[in-house]
Amino acid sequence: MKLKKHENNPILSPNPENAWESLVTCNPGAWYEDGKFYLLYRAAGDDKEHYIHLGLAESNDGVHFERVSSEPVFSPSSDGPDAGCVEDPRIVKFDDTFFVTYAYRKVAPGQYWKLAYDEVIEPDFPESAPAVLRKNITNTGLAISKDLKNYERVGRMTRPQLDDRDVILFPEKVNEKYVMLHRPKEWVGEAYGTDHASIWISYSDDMMVWENPSELLLNGKEWWEQKVGGNTPPIKTPEGWIMLYHGVCNDKIYRVGAALLDLENPSKIIARTKDFIMEPEFDYETDGIYKGCVFPVGNVVKDDTLFVYYGAADQYCALATCNVNELVSFIKENDRNFAQ
């Protein structure tokens, strides 16, 4: 089974009329409510520093989106820990409030693809400064909003000494606990039980202080998924939580797999696909800034259709769909027998 990519892709592209989104519009968080779809997308211009912002677009059909403003709805702070970039938003909602996790850096990373993938500009801090500043490490923050247009920063969710992103909240409590997925890049080696960066799971009473240590949830097994990370907020179904995740191997291509987690104990994997369900195929996925990347950040369900919104080649927003029940069946049928 492969996710079906929409014929209108890319559904959102850079806008040369707005400097802050003239080069990049990708990796969109998504929400659906009262007949309207929302994309909270990562955006950047062609500035040397590469400051990264979030823009907002709306749609009545989930395909044709219009920007709500010519300005970002969320930008790097003037002098805070996220003064360099805010990116890759994942959206959940508790009661009447949206909770958005986002990756950030203190200093804008520079156009890192002009150096080498995964390399960022390290700022000129003294050796005595904390590593999070000297190495410009990515942390993850939490912001809240009532309307996805106005935000209040709540604070850092991850450990400051770790490069920790792909932080995703479950959309509801499980056994009276908040649940979080994350991918600490440094948790690799014999002491951590994994040879590559992996997905960890943690629980909290208040969404800010998380159990320590986290539990290793999922690491790479197949050829296409050495390094892995979570993608979208889990989708609740009668048979378990659907979790989409990405895998990256030696070819540096980003592909997407799926797992089914136990409803009452999401630390338990019920089934996990042996084969990927999406990979780069089209020009907008293979010929952008990152040549060969599909990276879901948001998903919503409408009338049993799963809408998966993803970044393509680190430059565009795109859409893929499937029947949510068919996906559950496929995950179980394609299980690699690594269920825990």
Residue 71 lies in a domain: yes
User: 58, 70, 59, 68: which is closest to 22 by C-alpha?
Assistant: 70
Q: What number of residues does the chain have?
A: 340
**Domain contains 195:** yes
How many Cβ atoms from other residues are within 10 Å of residue 171's Cβ? 16
Alpha-carbon distances of 17 from 8, 21, 23, 289, rounded to whole Å: 22, 8, 11, 19
Q: Note whether residue 338 is domain-resident.
A: no
pLDDT at 11: 98
| Number of domain units in the chain | 1
pLDDT of residue 131: 87
Q: Are 163 and 227 in contact (CB under 8 A)?
A: no
Residue 339 lies in a domain: no
Amino acid 340: pLDDT: 42
Specify the pLDDT at position 229. 98
- Please say whether the beta carbons of 322 and 299 come within 8 A: no
Question: Which CATH number fits the domain that encloses residue 313?
Answer: 2.115.10.20
Within a domain: 237: yes
Distances from the Cα of 195 to the Cα of 86, 159, 220, 222, angstroms: 29, 21, 9, 13
- DSSP per-residue letters across 186-253: T--BGGGTBSS--EEEEEESSSSSB-SSPEEEE---STT-SEEEE-SPPEEETTEEEEEEEEE-TT--
In sign, the C-alpha dihedral spanning 281, 9, 299, 151 is positive
Q: Is residue 340 part of a domain?
A: no
From residue 37, give the alpha-carbon distance in Å to each of 59, 75, 121, 243, 315. 5, 22, 36, 21, 21
pLDDT in the model for residue 339: 43
109: cis peptide before it, omega within 30°? no
8 Å CB contact between 83 and 106: yes
Specify if 201 maps to a domain. yes
DSSP state of 138: -
Stretch (H or E) spanning 82: none
* Residue range(s) defining the domain that contains residue 243: 4-333
User: Phi, psi at residue 94, to the nearest 5°?
Assistant: -120, 125
136, 109 contact by CB (below 8 A): yes
* Contacts for 90 with CB less than 8 Å, ≥ 6 apart: 29, 100, 101, 102, 167, 168, 169, 232, 233, 297, 298
| CA of residue 159 relative to chain centroid, distance | 18
In a domain? residue 16? yes
Q: How far apart are CA 138 and CA 157, in angstroms?
A: 12
This prediction's pTM: 0.97
Q: What is the pLDDT along the chain (340 residues), one digit of tens a residue?
A: 999 999 999 999 999 999 999 999 999 999 999 999 999 999 999 999 999 999 999 999 999 999 999 999 999 999 999 999 999 999 999 999 999 999 999 999 999 888 767 788 888 899 999 888 999 999 999 999 999 999 999 999 998 889 999 999 999 999 999 999 999 999 999 999 999 999 999 999 999 899 988 999 999 999 999 999 999 999 999 999 999 999 999 999 999 999 999 999 999 999 999 999 999 999 999 999 999 999 999 999 999 999 999 999 999 999 999 999 999 999 999 997 754 4
